[in-house]
Amino acid sequence: MMMTPEALKLVAARFKVLSDPMRLNILRVLEEGEMSVSGITETVESTQPNISKHLKSLQDAGFVNRRQEGNTVYYSIADESVYELCDLVCSSIHERLKSQASVFAGGKKV
């Protein structure tokens, strides 16, 4: 698939958002369903300002939805395909680590 330089920049920006471990952790937490900012903050053991900053990045990239009810703000996953991408990357890492472990084990299957 040919992509224009502008399209490549958009793809790179989206991957950049996913390059932060805390953001990946937030997405993992939201896989269970919608959650308030305070709930996310407690679950990932961080501060509210830090979590809000990361949620803003995830929202701007289209990964999460934001909903306000009174004084409480809730977030949910907007793009479920992010989990397919994470699964693909995790599987690739797992296979690579198995291959490397095999090398260190003298070629024996691990």
Within-domain flag for 5: no
Same-domain check for residues 74 and 36: yes
| CATH code of the domain in which 53 resides | 1.10.10.10
pTM score? 0.78
Q: Which domain holds residue 107?
A: 80-110
Number of structural domains (the chain) is 2
C-alpha 3/C-alpha 76 separation (Å) is: 30
Same-domain check for residues 17 and 71: yes
Residues 30-62: pLDDT tens digits?
Answer: 999 999 999 999 999 999 999 999 999 999 999
Same-domain check for residues 50 and 27: yes
DSSP string across 26-70 = HHHHHTT--EEHHHHHHHHT--HHHHHHHHHHHHHTTSEEEEEET
Same-domain check for residues 54 and 71: yes
Tokens 């991957």 correspond to: 15
Per-residue pLDDT in tens (0 to 9) along the chain, 110 residues: 789 999 999 889 988 999 999 999 999 999 999 999 999 999 999 999 999 999 999 999 999 999 999 999 999 999 888 878 777 777 777 677 777 776 677 655 54
Within-domain flag for 1: no
C-alpha 90/C-alpha 13 separation (Å) is: 20
Same-domain check for residues 49 and 95: no
Which residues are paired to 72 by β-bridges? 69
C-alpha 38/C-alpha 25 separation (Å) is: 15
